[in-house]
Amino acid sequence: MPSNGSSSGAAVWAILRKECRSEWRTRYGLNAALLFAITTLTSVSFAVGRLTDRTDMLSALLWVVLLFAALASLSHAFVREVEGHTLTLLRLVASPTAIALGKLLFNLLFLAVIEAVTVPLYLALMGAPPPRWGAFLALLGLGSLALACATTLVGAVISQTRGRGALFAGVSLPLLLPILAASVSGTRAQWLGGAIGPEARLLAAYAAALLAVSLVLYDHVWED
Interface residues with other proteins (CB under 8 A)? 1-7, 10-11, 13-15, 17-18, 21-22, 25-26, 84-86, 88-95, 98, 223-224
For other proteins, give the closer residue by CB, 98 or 211.
98
For other proteins, give the closer residue by CB, 21 or 201.
21
Task: Give dist(CA 14, CA 195) in Å, integer.
Answer: 40
For other proteins, give the closer residue by CB, 13 or 60.
13
> In the complex, what is the shortest distance from the CB of residue 44 to other proteins, in angstroms, rounded to a whole number?
34
> In the complex, what is the shortest distance from the CB of residue 93 to other proteins, in angstroms, rounded to a whole number?
4
- Buried-state track 148-186, b at ≥16 Cβ within 10 A, e below 16: bbbbbbbbbbbbeeeebeeebeebbeebbeebbebbbbb
> In the complex, what is the shortest distance from the CB of residue 105 to other proteins, in angstroms, rounded to a whole number?
14
> In the complex, what is the shortest distance from the CB of residue 101 to other proteins, in angstroms, rounded to a whole number?
12
